[in-house]
Amino acid sequence: SRIAIFASGTGSNFDAIKAAIDRNELQAEIALIVCDKPGAKVVEKAENAGIDVFQFTPKTYASKQAFETEIVKELHAKGVNLVVLAGYMRLVGDTLLAAYGGKIVNIHPSLLPAFPGKDAIGQAIEAGVKVSGVTIHYVDEGMDTGPIIAQESMKLSTDDSYEEVQQRIQAIEHSLYPKVIANVLKEATA
C-alpha cells in the first residue's frame, strides 16, 4: 500500500509511522508528504529520509479547490491509496473528498465528539475532565467528525501540567496510529 501523510508541523506522528514501517510492523510505503507550511520541521525530516514532499502555500492559490486539485494530481501520480492526516491543520475540501472519500484518516487528541477543533488538549484541561485520550477517524466534510475507527483513553488529574498531558497524549498517538493504519489497510485489501 502507498500512503501519503499530510502534516503541517513537527511530524512526530510521521516519525512514529515511519519507524513502524522500518520495523516491518506496518506494510506500507510513504509515497508522499503533503505540507501546507513550507519549511515545517516535517519537511526536513521527510527530505532526510528520501521521501518526496509536496509543499505549498495555500494563500498563493485562488481557492481550496485550486490547491486540492494540485494535491490530487500528486496523489494520483504517486499511486497513493490512503491519505493519513497527522497534524494537517486544515479542513479537507470537496475536491480531495471527491477523489479520496472513505480513504482519508485523521488523528485527534481528544475522545471525540468531545473537544473538536483547535487545542483539544487545552479544551480538555479547561473543562476539568478526568478522562481524555486520542481518536482516529475517517474524514468527512466536518471538523473532526466522520466515523470513528479507534479510541484510547487516559486519566487526567488536576495537577497535570499541559506539557505532561500533551506528552502522554502523543505517546498514545505514536503507538496507536501505526496499528490502526495497518488495520485500515488490511480491511481495504480484504
Return binding residues for (6R)-10-formyltetrahydrofolate: 64, 89-92, 106
Contact positions with ligand GRF (CB under 6 A) in 24-83 = none
Nearest to 135, CA basis, from 127, 42, 83, 121 = 121
Would you call 76 a catalytic residue per the annotation?
no
Degrees to nearest 5, angle at CA 121 with 20 and 59: 80
Question: Measured between alpha carbons, how far is 186 from 190 in angstroms, rounded to an integer?
Answer: 6
Stretch that binds ligand GRF, among 9-17, 43-51, 59-67, 148-156 (CB under 6 A): 9-17
> CA separation (Å) from 73 to 98, 99, 111, 139, 187?
13, 10, 33, 20, 25
Our finding on whether 146 is near ligand GRF (CB under 6 A) is: no
- Decide if residue 12 touches ligand GRF (CB under 6 A): yes
Number of H helices, E strands in the chain: 6, 7
Tell me which of 1, 11, 45, 67 binds ligand GRF, using CB under 6 A. 11
Q: How far is the CB of 150 from ligand GRF (least distance, A)?
A: 13
> Segment 100-139, which members bind ligand GRF (CB under 6 A)?
107-109
Binding site for ligand GRF (CB under 6 A): 7, 9-13, 86-87, 107-109, 173
